[in-house]
Amino acid sequence: MSNFDCKEQTNSQGIYEFQIDNDTTLFIKQQNNTLNHGTTIWESSIITAQYMQQLLRSSDNKLKSKRCIELGSGCGLLGLIMCSMGLQTTLTDLEAVLVDVLQDNVKHNLWILNQNRIENNSPFIAQAKILDWTVTQLIPPEFTPPYDYIVATDCVYSLELISHFVRCLNELANEKTLIFCGLERRDPFVVETFINACKGGFYVVKIPEKKLRKMIYKNANNEITVEIYRLKKKKTIK
């Protein structure tokens, strides 16, 4: 699977094309005219999706039985990229975002992925669900933790939401879960508050800028605005 390209907006409805390999292009709808953050494809979702694609590229076959959940999916690019690598993926967001963009993007792109799947390979699996960090109880049958992967991008921007977001990560993960959070450091205080809130229950590693530059930006001199953090839950002593 090759690194994908974000192409120009293709029509007035704001459909973006992401070519993920020689045969497959995802079509992601966004809506710029809403007051909701979730109806825009943010830069950190593009960079984190490219990073995950490169990170997991060599493990394609091992991913078929793995489960992934995305928090605050918005338009769903990152979750759909996880799905395209074989992970059974649940993409989540607030109801309004689900209705405006997410459920259509999941349905349409799942259809594309399954049309292009190699004969006899198991189908790609993805679903869109409502998950509000502040109220949802993350219990079966709606949610079935622990997930193998949790991903989220640009979900760290409001001080009030941080404790809810971190609680969700904690409820959805166990010590083996790999968690990746991509973000833009718009307000350093918010980012540091998030990292400190995680440090109690998670090991937190920032993917070095040098590595991102090598993997994504191909050593170009572009300014790197996206940071990616890898989290692993600490063992709780009973």
Ligand X SMILES: C[S@@+](CC[C@H](N)C(=O)[O-])C[C@H]1O[C@@H](n2cnc3c(N)ncnc32)[C@H](O)[C@@H]1O
Site residues (CB under 6 A) for ligand X?
37-38, 41-42, 44-45, 72-75, 93-94, 97, 131-134, 153-155, 161
Residue 158 in tokens: 């409001």
- CB 124, min distance to ligand X, A: 20
Q: Which is nearer to ligand X, 73 or 88 (CB)?
A: 73
* 88-93, strands of its sheet edge to edge: 126-130, 88-93, 67-71, 149-153, 178-184, 226-233, 202-206
Side chain identity at 211, as an amino acid letter?
A: K
Contact 95, 36 (CB under 8 A): no
C-alpha–C-alpha distance, residues 196 and 34, integer Å: 32
Q: First and final CA of the chain: distance in angstroms?
A: 43
C-alpha–C-alpha distance, residues 3 and 66, integer Å: 22
CA proximity to 157, closest of 123, 194, 120: 194
Q: Which is nearer to ligand X, 16 or 124 (CB)?
A: 16
C-alpha–C-alpha distance, residues 77 and 89, integer Å: 12
- CB 95, min distance to ligand X, A: 10
Contact 83, 151 (CB under 8 A): no
Q: Which is nearer to ligand X, 93 or 227 (CB)?
A: 93
Q: Which is nearer to ligand X, 163 or 174 (CB)?
A: 163
- CB 131, min distance to ligand X, A: 6
HSE-up of 85 (CA within 13 Å, CB side)? 26
DSSP three-state, residue 236: coil
- CB 96, min distance to ligand X, A: 7
Q: Which is nearer to ligand X, 88 or 92 (CB)?
A: 92
Side chain identity at 195, as an amino acid letter?
A: I
- CB 49, min distance to ligand X, A: 9
- CB 2, min distance to ligand X, A: 22
C-alpha–C-alpha distance, residues 63 and 57, integer Å: 10
Q: Which is nearer to ligand X, 99 or 205 (CB)?
A: 99
- CB 120, min distance to ligand X, A: 33
Q: Which is nearer to ligand X, 31 or 116 (CB)?
A: 31
